[in-house]
């Protein structure tokens, strides 16, 4: 209807054949700006349908999976990582920078002393498996408050310590809507224990509005970008 209406509006229905109509539309400035405004409306509709403003379902202790598949790259094997893992992460720091007014570095202890949130949620991997676990961590919104992103900051990038077969470090990104979501946390506990190495120790993202691959493990740096 939108396309037909637009085509009618600029007199293109007089042309025969879809191809001509669409070629004509693409050269029409009025139509292009209409498409752009529809794109904005579409984004908002998608957001409503996928409910990124809503809370993801939370479960009870009884629902927690007995087995939670570790997935993705193997854990980091650097001497630095292994030594820190063995001694309670004294040398590990979470670095936060990019487009922020107050860049920061936090030790694990500092992160653990911030306000926390605990949630029992279901992890859905696109490879076709799901598992429920309990996660505790600091809401990313609290960290955002501390570092104060600049106005140009639109996305948050998470850099990880593990590497794939070609030696590239894993990373993922979120927009600020997901970043501020109340269930988006930097988790340091899983099922009431320190986050296990295979699940991303010492710190991983939980972003319950998104699928498994967005839940970056082994985080060491967060960057705000345009």
Ligand X SMILES: Nc1nc2c(c(=O)[nH]1)N[C@H]1C(S)=C(S)[C@@H](COP(=O)(O)O)O[C@H]1N2
Between the CA of residue 92 and those of 84, 130, 178, what are the distances in Å?
7, 30, 26
Cite the DSSP H helix spans in 72-209: 79-86, 108-112, 140-147, 176-180
By CB under 5 A, the count of residues binding Mo ion is 3
Q: Decide if residue 103 touches ligand X (CB under 6 A).
A: no
**Of ligand X, Mo ion, none, which one does residue 104 interact with (CB within 5 to 8 Å by kind)?**
none
Tokens 């082994």, residue located: 218
Length of the chain (residues): 226
Note whether 170 binds ligand X by CB under 6 A.
yes
Distance CA 83, CA 79 (A): 6
125, 131, 141, 197: which one binds Mo ion (CB under 5 A)? 125
Reading the block at residue 140, the tokens are: 């990313």
Say if residues 132 and 122 touch (Cβ distance below 8 Å): yes
Residue 89 to residue 39: CA distance in whole angstroms = 46
Of the ranges 78-86, 104-112, 113-121, 213-221, which one interacts with ligand X (CB under 6 A)? 213-221
**Is residue 97 at the binding interface for Mo ion, with CB under 5 A as the rule?**
no
Query: According to the binding rule CB under 6 A, does residue 72 interact with ligand X?
Result: yes
Provide, rounded to whole angstroms, the least separation between the CB of residue 94 and ligand X: 14
Residue from 69, 117, 122, 220 touching ligand X (CB under 6 A): that is 69
What's the min distance (Å) between Cβ of 125 and Mo ion?
A: 3
Binding interface with Mo ion (CB under 5 A): 125, 212-213
Binding interface with ligand X (CB under 6 A): 68-73, 125, 160, 162, 170, 199, 212-213, 215-218
């Amino acid at each position: 209807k939108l396309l037909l209406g637009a085509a009618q509006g600029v007199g293109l229905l007089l042309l025969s054949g879809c191809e001509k109509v669409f070629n004509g539309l693409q050269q029409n400035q009025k139509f292009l700006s209409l498409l752009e405004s529809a794109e904005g409306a579409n984004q908002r509709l998608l957001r409503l349908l996928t409910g990124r403003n809503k809370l993801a379902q939370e479960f009870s202790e009884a629902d927690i999976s007995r087995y939670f598949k570790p997935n993705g790259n193997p854990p980091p094997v650097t001497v630095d990582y292994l030594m820190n893992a063995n001694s309670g992460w004294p040398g590990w720091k979470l670095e936060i920078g990019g487009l922020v007014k107050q860049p920061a570095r936090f030790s694990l202890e500092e992160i653990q002393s911030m306000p926390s949130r605990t949630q029992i949620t279901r992890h859905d991997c696109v490879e076709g498996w799901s598992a429920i676990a309990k996660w505790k961590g600091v809401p990313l919104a609290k960290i955002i408050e501390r570092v104060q992103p600049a106005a140009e900051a639109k996305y948050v990038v998470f850099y990880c310590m593990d590497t794939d077969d070609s030696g590239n470090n894993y990373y993922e990104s979120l927009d600020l809507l997901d970043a501020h979501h109340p269930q988006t946390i930097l988790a340091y506990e899983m099922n009431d224990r320190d986050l296990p190495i295979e699940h991303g120790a010492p710190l991983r993202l939980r972003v319950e509005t998104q699928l498994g691959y967005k839940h970056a493990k082994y985080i060491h740096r967060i960057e705000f970008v345009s």
